[in-house]
Each structure stands twice: as structure tokens, then as C-alpha cells.
Structure 1
Amino acid sequence: MGTLVRKKPRLGMPSLRGAVPALAVLAACLIAYATGSLRFLDDATSWQLGFSVLPQEPGDPYWRTLGISVLNTLVLAGVSIGAATVIGTIVALLAVTGHPLWSRLARGYVQLFRNMPLLVQALFWFAYVTHLPAPRRAFGFWGIHLSNRGLSLPVPTLAGWVVLGAALIGGAAALRASRAFEGRWVRRGAVVLTSMLFVAGLAKFALFAGQPAWDVPQLAGFNFDGGLTVATELIAMVIALSMFGSAYVAEIVRGGFATVPKGVIEAARALALPWWALEVKVRAPLALRAIILPLGSQYTVLVKATSIGLAVGFTDLFAVTMMSINQSGHTVALLCVMTTGFVVLNQVVVSAASALDRAFALPT
């Protein structure tokens, strides 16, 4: 009998087979533009978006308005994916602790938010946020204010960004120079923190003496002035997508931990490894290989689910496309543009997940 030899995976460029749908849709849109079907994108919209990451005016052309809607979708999807990953991982860790109370609470969380329609969650959180107290009676702490007008956050000024950059540079330099404290994490951390504070203070004193490092929102009339204001529709959609997605992420992470063989865990315990080393250096890396691809699929679901924002007035790519169709009447062309946007966004997520899966794959 012959010997079964497993081929080693090639480390060249990834195959473009998965990008064929995105390239096909993009080619169709380019053909439509060449034939004149998309020339209306240079016309002015004559209407303004309710929420936009970048400034948008009624005189802006359709292509710029649609581009801003793509950025709105990216911001919503990115924040929601990050929050869903963190919350879902915490819930999964509670589920695998073995403690009866924490396990039941984790299972109840998953069942509640996974079985509730996303549209219902979005409408509920939007109604809740819009019924918060007015700005004069807003919830506030450390310069952060939450009201029915949205979430007002302090942001760094030019001086603040310079100070933060100087602190990061000082910390990196101190970390590189503190190799003499290898193994002494307390002293090493103290050296890095002290260096960061010293360099940041020196930059603040030398370049921006007397200037504030933060732009803190202040109550002016019936609203807050200054800082960064997060719109109510964005807050509602982030909460809804985060809670909905975290329920699925929790099940994916829990299933990934369940794939780790018990023999590996018992062997690690036999080596007298502490619990944190067992979880971080043994269990988590093995579970990660079974988690990456399902997480990538769930992330694509969250990207497509941003279209639910139309129900609460969030101007994402789907909502702006629908408004553009009502105003211009170019239904087929605009649907083609919207399809291209979603296909490209999801293809980027899938490609990133596939690249991570190949990077963490066990050598054969």
C-alpha cells in the first residue's frame, strides 16, 4: 500500500475565486457608467442627510452622498462588530466557567437576544434613547453627557493629539530601553508609565502651554456645544446590533472552546500550569482556530444587518439608496451601486477572516 502524504499549504497569494462575485458586480457597474446609465451621479441631490460622518450639503452630487453613506455603514458596522465581539466573548467565558449561576445567566442572555427580531430591538432602543432626559438634565460623568439629543463626548484638541502621540513615542522608547528589567514586570511597567507621563508633560509644556488638551462639551441653551455628539439613531443601532450579534458570537466562542480536546487540558494541568496560562497559552489558541471562520460569517451578517437602520432614520447605504431612488427615479442603476457596495464590504470581511484562518492554521 502506498503512503498517504498530506500536501503542505502553499504560502503564495490567496486565490481570487472568492472575489469573483464582487468583481462581476463591479464590472457591471463600470459598464453601466460607460454607457451613461450612471451619469446622473454627478447631479446635485438637493437634500441633506440626517446623520453623516463627513459634512454633507444639499448641493453635493449623488456620488459623494452615496460615498458618505458607505462611511456611515462602515462606522456602524465597525463599532457594532467590536462591541459584539467583546460582549460575546465575555458571555461565552461566563458560560464555560462551570458556575451554575453564571452559566444560566449566559444562556439566558443568548436565548433572549438571539430569538428577538433585530428590527424589534432597533425600535426598542431607539424609543428608549429618545425618551432619555433633556440636555439640561442629562446623565453626565467625566465630561460625558447622555441625553435624548445623543451622546456628547470630549475629544482631544490639537494639543491633546500631540500629547498622546508624545506619550506613545515615550512609552515605546521606554519599553525598548527597559530590556534590563526583563522578568520584572512591575518595575518595567513603572518605567514605561513614568516615561510616557514625562514625555507627554514635556510636550504639553513646550508646545501648548496654557492650551486645553481636550474639547469638553458644554451646555449651551437646549443642547451641548463642543466635543463630539453621537446621534440617537447611531446609538440605538449600535446597541441593537451589538446585543444581537453578541448572542451569536457567544455561541461561536463557546463552541470553539468546546472543540479543545480534554486530553490537552489535562496534560497542561499535569505540568502544573496556572489557570491563566492554561487559558491564555493553551486553550484560547487552540479554540481560536475553530472560531475565526464562523466569526467572519457572523460579521458579514452584521454588515448586512445595518440596513435595518432605515427603520430608525439612520442614513446608511441602504437608506440613502432608497432616498436617491425616490428623488431621481434611477432604480436599477442605484440598486446596482448599492449591491456593489455591500458585496465589496462583505468580501473584505470574508477575505480578512480567511487570511487570519490561514495564519493561525496548524502546520501539516
Structure 2
Amino acid sequence: MIRLWNNLKLRNTALQVAYVGGFVALVLGMALVARANLDELGIISGFDFLFKSTGWKVSFSLIEFTASDPYWRVLLVGFLNTLFLAAIGLVLATVIGVIVGMARTSSNDLARLLGAIYVETFRNVPLILQVFFWYAVFTRFPGPRQAISLADGMFLSSRGIYVPGLNITGLSAFLGIVVFLAGLGVIVWITAAQRFRRMEPARKTRLRLLILAAAALLMAAIFWLGRLPDTPLVSIPALKGLNYRGGVRVSTELTALAVSIAIYGGSYIAEIVRGGFKAVGRGQIEAAQSVGLSAWQVFSRVRFPLALRAMMPILTNQYIWLVKATTMGIAIGFADFFMVVSISINQSGQTLELIGILMAGFLLINFTLAAVLNRINRAIALKGDQLRS
């Protein structure tokens, strides 16, 4: 027996089996105790409630939903709303972060000062306070009859922003936007990936344009297939009675959340962008300038690709955090995944099951996002330490 225990491989295997077995036994014990307590309280466990009618409505939905629809459909509504808000927030936060981050690395003193003021102001105010602030701002605008005209066919009121839109289903709009963003992601990958470094610049440009055109055509096809029957393709909002009819209404809740996440997340991404550009060695920039590259060529072919490689791991972390920040929607009544699950718990009493669904949903979103970004990071990574000054 002692001889077997002295076998390192056998001993490690036995310890691993004991650890996994103990963990499984602990989980099973907790499940059995929880089941016994639920039976004692008369609470029925299981997922049969998913097919029962909810009896309540949601304020915002990308797909059709009525009060008579089952719980699984309202959970799908909340899941899609979270994805939609996360997509808008991440894109806007990235745009703001890149602009402010580049301003902070600029040679212009005023640009650096404004960038620093922006970062230090919005990064140090809690996100929940910014959500309340922007929600209060957007709900204080005039009513529909006195709405502010932003442009031809665009109006801003206390009930939301009214813009021209396509008469298509919310799901097709969501899928079309996702397809187009995926195309942009492929273009970024082609620009920075090591396997495309030897490709001729003209050929690489043609490939990027081809992918962009394909993504735009596929998005247009999805929009066309999702067109509502017996309606014109384009709908323009017009005041009828006490409210606007037609077009697309961006609710105040969605607007406040998107603006808050974009501004707050942009302040963090700006620092990530600044750090990425600072990580590019001065000698590499001088070497690019010495071979006669223009300022734009130095930026697009040297500074940005190297900075992106330094930024990507930290950006992945930040993006995942911003996705989790969408749960702030419950504070102002936006029907995101967290709010829908919370209401479902109050209505059905199936706490453990719904919390498990909530955890599984966010794990699916964040694991998928992390896997995609990590794959991009591995594709654009350089062998060895190439960013030393």
C-alpha cells in the first residue's frame, strides 16, 4: 500500500479523483437538502413553469410579445434586449474611448487636457449615478407636441427619440446589425492578423472592401426578409394626436442606458487606448519615419497594429465588464435579462431555476465574447516581446 502511495502519478490521480468526488458529493448534498426544504414548504421545483402564461407585458421587445405568452418567451425577450443594449453600448464606448485615448496621446496640449478632464470626470462617478442622471435628463425634455426637431424626420421628446426607420421586425434588425458588426470585426482581424502581413496592400484593400460589401448586402437581405407585410419599406414619424406615429421610437430607458454605458465605458477604454499607444516603442516609430512613410502610414501600419496587440487582452476584460453593466437597466425600468428574471421570480416563485437561467445566460454571452476576442488576440499576437522601448 505504501509502495502504491509513493507512486507520484498514482497519488496525484487519486487526489484528483477524491477532490472531484468530494465536490460532486457536496453539490448533490446541497441539491438534495434544497429539494427537501422546497418540498416541505410546498414549492414545486422544475422547469414546467416556462410554458405557462406570464400575464404581464414588457416595455421594450425586439420580438413580438403579449401578456399571454409563456415565460420562456419573456426570458428570450430579456436576453435579446441585453444583447441589443450591450452591442450599442460597446460600439459607442469603443468609439468614444478611441477618440479620447488618441486625444490623450496627442501632441496638442488642449486635446490632452480635455481628454484628461473627460476621463477623470466620468471614470470616478459611479455608473448607477450616471444612469439616473441621464434618465432624468431625457425625461425632462418637452412632450411630443413640443418635441425638439433634430433634423428632417427626427424628433426628441420626453417619450424618447423618434427617427425614420424601416418597417421590419425587431429580430431582423438585431440580426442585421450583428452581421454587419461581425463583418467589421473580420476587417479588423485582416488588418492586424499576422497571416495577412505579406499580402499586397492593394489586394488587402480589395479584400476588406469585398467583406464590407458582403456584410452590407447580407444585412440588407436580412432586413428585406424581415419586412412587415403590407407596409412601405421606410417609415417616417409624424405627429398624430398626442404622440408620434410611424418611424422608430428609441425609448428614454434604452437611450439613458446606452449613453451611460458609452460615456462610462469610454473613459476606461480611453485609458486602455492611451496605454496601448504608449506601449509602442519610440524607436519603431522613428524607424518607420526613416524609410519615408507618411504620418498616416506610420499610424496605420506601425502604431495602430502594435497598439492594438497591447490593448486587446485588457479590452476583452473591459468589454465583459460592460456587458454585465447592462443589469443597471432594472434601476430605470428597462426590460433587460436581469429585470425580466427578477419579475419572473416574483410572479412564479421559481427562484433557483430562474437564477440558474440568469447565470447560464450571462455565462453564454460572456464566454462567447471572450472566446471571439481571445481568438482575435491570438491571431494578431506577435511571437516574443515586440513592444519593448
Contact 2:45 2:350 in 1 (8 A): no
User: C-alpha deviations, 1:147-178, integer Å up to 9, x for none?
Assistant: 111111112358xx9xxxxxxxxxxxxxxxxx
1:210-289 → structure 2 map (5 Å cutoff) = 214-289=234-309
Shift of 1:214: 2.5
Could you tell me which amino acid in structure 2 is paired with residue 312 of structure 1?
I
Could you tell me which amino acid in structure 1 is paired with residue 58 of structure 2?
L
Tell me the residue number matched to 2:358. Answer: 338
Q: Distance in 1 between matches of 2:115 and 2:322?
A: 21
Tell me the residue number matched to 2:72. Answer: 63
Contact 2:164 2:248 in 1 (8 A): yes
Shift of 1:99: 1.2
Gaps of 5+ in 1: 1-23, 162-181, 190-210
1:1-364 → structure 2 map (5 Å cutoff) = 37-140=46-149, 141-156=151-166, 214-363=234-383
Change (3 A) 1:270 1:354: same
The alignment partner of 1:289 has SS state of helix
Shift of 1:142: 2.5
Percent sequence identity is 41
Q: Distance in 2 between matches of 1:245 and 1:352?
A: 20
- Taking structure 2 as the reference length, what is the TM-score of the superposition? 0.70
User: C-alpha deviations, 1:176-207, integer Å up to 9, x for none?
Assistant: xxxxxx89x9xxx9xxxxxxxxxxxxxxxxxx
Q: Distance in 1 between matches of 2:291 and 2:242?
A: 63
Shift of 1:134: 1.1
Change (3 A) 1:154 1:248: same
Shift of 1:272: 2.4
Shift of 1:212: 6.4
Runs of 4+ in 1 over 3 A off after TM superposition: none
Shift of 1:359: 1.1
Aligned residue pairs total 294
Shift of 1:271: 1.7
Of stretches 54-63 and 84-93 in structure 1, the one that deviates more from structure 2 is 54-63
Q: Distance in 2 between matches of 1:347 and 1:112?
A: 31
User: C-alpha deviations, 1:221-249, integer Å up to 9, x for none?
Assistant: 11110011111100000000000100010
Shift of 1:56: 1.2
Q: Distance in 2 between matches of 1:44 and 1:213?
A: 33
Q: Distance in 2 between matches of 1:38 and 1:292?
A: 39
Q: Distance in 1 between matches of 2:346 and 2:234?
A: 42
CA RMSD across the alignment: 3.0
Q: Distance in 1 between matches of 2:167 and 2:361?
A: 33
Change (3 A) 1:255 1:231: same
Shift of 1:213: 5.6
- Taking structure 1 as the reference length, what is the TM-score of the superposition? 0.75
User: C-alpha deviations, 1:258-312, integer Å up to 9, x for none?
Assistant: 1101100111111222111111111000111011111111111111011111111
Q: Distance in 1 between matches of 2:233 and 2:68?
A: 35
Could you tell me which amino acid in structure 1 is paired with residue 120 of structure 2?
Q
Change (3 A) 1:213 1:37: closer
User: C-alpha deviations, 1:61-83, integer Å up to 9, x for none?
Assistant: 11110011000000000000000
Contact 2:46 2:353 in 1 (8 A): yes
Tell me the residue number matched to 1:21. Answer: none
Q: Distance in 1 between matches of 2:146 and 2:87?
A: 31
Q: Distance in 2 between matches of 1:221 and 1:352?
A: 48
Change (3 A) 1:334 1:156: closer
The alignment partner of 2:161 has SS state of strand
The alignment partner of 2:55 has SS state of coil
Shift of 1:93: 0.8
Shift of 1:51: 1.5
The alignment partner of 2:123 has SS state of helix
The alignment partner of 2:289 has SS state of helix
Q: Distance in 2 between matches of 1:256 and 1:97?
A: 13
Q: Distance in 2 between matches of 1:283 and 1:116?
A: 31
Shift of 1:349: 1.0
Q: Distance in 1 between matches of 2:232 and 2:364?
A: 41
Q: Distance in 1 between matches of 2:152 and 2:262?
A: 24
